[in-house]
Amino acid sequence: MEHNDTKPALLHDVLGMEILSASEGRATARMKVEERVCQPFGYLSGGASLALMETLAGYGSIALCAAGEVPLGIQVSANHMHAVPLGDEVTATATLLQHTRHLHVWNVDIHDSRGRLISSGRVTNCIKTLPH
């Protein structure tokens, strides 16, 4: 997604996330491990991983929303299993676990370029109707 200088950059732009696909029940994204997403020691920040999870689950929920509805993340939690060094790349896959009219629950797994599971998390989105 391209950045337009006339409006502020969105979080996924700032962190360098690339949404690869988003359909009903599944979404994928990629993010390079650059300085902007690292902790001071040169490894991917857990916070950046959580942002990737919530963003990706949001895009997955958009594919399920009706016109005039938007997903809002209300809960995200994760476990981080491995550190990813500066210069690597991660790929995230979100899979829909459960959805009702107003809640979507996603599992999101992040893998490094070697295929190792880096982080696994759950994201819950609340579906809101936009005011007219």
- List, by residue number, the catalytic residues: 54
- List, in sequence order, every residue forming a beta bridge with 103; answer none if it has no partner: 126
DSSP summary character for residue 44: B
Contacts of residue 49, defined as CB under 8 A and 6 or more positions apart, other chains included, come to: 78, 80, 90, 110, 118, 119, 121
